[in-house]
Structure 1
Amino acid sequence: MKIQTTRCLALAVIFMLSACSTSVERIDAQEQIDLSGAWNDTDSQLVAREMIDDSLSRPWIVRFVTQTGKDPAVIIGSVKNLSHEHINTNTFVANMERELINSGQVQFVASADARQEIRAERDDQDVNATSDTRNVGGQEYGADFIMQGQINTIIDMEGKTQVRYYQVNLELISIKDNRKVWVGEKRIKKLVRNSQLRG
């Protein structure tokens, strides 16, 4: 009887441990998975690709190359998250940077944070590096245009059904004279059923 009770307890423990275990499966990073209906990596990549493609297909870039004889230098400024949910705008900015650089149509200037770190390194080299390996200041490539924008959302919910609406607005602005040379908008609408999320 005692042995049988011990076996039952052991089986119960094994069952409980297996029920609480974590399962991990590796999947293709390009696979589109939408679990909650919230903004995710797929949205970030698709919006960045479509908006950058649109911006580079507009007349401003041909006009700039014709007038100056060089590719425009672009920097991405702030992208504000004005939505109701947490959105990692750093990932979205990184996606846009990749699309701009890989297009081969623009020069891309490092962000303000990156420039501060690089300037600190140049200052250090000025004191510590040999003259033939030192990179001096005052040689930075100035940006011609800055891209800025925001992400907004609207949630419409009835019972356990939601419509999640995302609107991304971006602007490309001439740093020389503050002219807006491109304004882009991308909308995403998702119908989420049986969602436990609250707007």
Structure 2
Amino acid sequence: MKTRLIASVSLVGLLAACGGPRAFTRGTYEDPNTIEMLSDQFNENDLQLIAKKMVESLANSPRFAQANPQPPVVLVGRLKNKTSEHIDMASLGDKIQTGLARTGRFALLDKAAREDLAEEYEYQGSGYVDSNAAKAPGQQASADFLLTGEIASIVQEVGGDKLVYYKMTAKLNNVRTGIVEWTDEKELRKKFEKQGISW
């Protein structure tokens, strides 16, 4: 009995030593565009590929391919996540907005900044700012187009194989008419294989 107890305590101690918490103490910078699939979840590479496709497609569409002295004003609106995973849709929206800005063909409105702008108007109208220099509400640009979209996914598992399919669909709606002036989609299909874990 005593030998058994000692063996059990030793085994628990050995397992604790092997499976105890580990700290990441050494690291290096890597190219954020390097494609690595460490898990079967939506990752930064998926986000980058989707954003790049949408920006290039919209910027090169016949409606917007030519530079305009008065670029169309675009508001990146709601991007919906229809998958069962957590996907940072705000980051995807920011990535698309940044890409569109870099083309120089679009003027962009920032939906998230609207509350901050309203506060700034209040401050500038409070008397602390020179009244001749103060900005007042009523002069903001209005959006010509609203960009919306959604990501959906299909997951299939057969035996040791897992297939994950994502589809991002985006639309650019004319705010005045409601007409969809542009739409496109990006598909991603990833295959994973289960591997046994060795001790």
In the alignment, the residues of structure 2 paired with residue 195 and residue 143 of structure 1 have an alpha-carbon distance, to the nearest angstrom, of: 51
Mapped partners of 1:39, 1:169: distance in 2: 16
1:61 corresponds in structure 2 to 64
| 1:153 paired residue number | 153
Q: Would you tell me which structure has more helix in proportion to its own residues?
A: 1
Deviation at 1:185, TM superposition (A): 0.4
Q: For residues 138-177 of structure 1, what are the structure 2 equivalents within 5 Å?
A: 138-177=138-177
What runs of 5+ residues in structure 1 fail to find an aligned partner? 1-11
The aligned residue for residue 24 of structure 2 is 23
User: What is the letter of the counterpart of residue 51 of structure 1?
Assistant: M
Task: Provide the rounded CA distance (Å) in 1 between the counterparts of 2:119 and 2:152.
Answer: 36
SS at match of 1:60: coil
Q: 1:190 maps to what in 2?
A: 190
Q: Distance in 2 between matches of 1:46 and 1:62?
A: 21
Change in Cα spacing, 1:158 to 1:17, as seen in structure 2 (3 Å) is: closer
Flag the 1:34–1:60 CA change in 2: closer, same or farther, 3 A: same
SS in structure 2 at match of 1:49: helix
Percent identity at matched positions? Answer: 22
- Equivalenced residues, count: 181
- Residues 142-178 of structure 1: CA deviation (Å, up to 9, x unaligned): 1110100000000010133210000000000100110
User: TM-score w.r.t. structure 1 length?
Assistant: 0.82
Moved over 4 A (4+): 62-65
Could you list the runs of 5+ residues in structure 2 that have no partner in the other structure? 1-12
TM-score normalised per structure 2? 0.82
Between the aligned partners of 1:195 and 1:142, the Cα distance in structure 2 is: 54
- Contact persistence 2:147–2:172 (CA under 8 A): yes
Superposed displacement of residue 38, structure 1? 1.4
Partner AA of 2:98 in structure 1: R
Listed one character per residue, the Cα deviations across residues 46-85 of structure 1 (whole Å, up to 9, x for unaligned) are 11011111111112225894xxx52111110000000111
Counterpart for residue 81 of structure 2: 81
Asked if structure 2 preserves the Cα contact closer than 8 Å seen for 1:81 and 1:89, the reply is yes
What is aligned with 1:125? Answer: 124
Equivalent residue for 2:39, pick from 33, 36, 61: 36
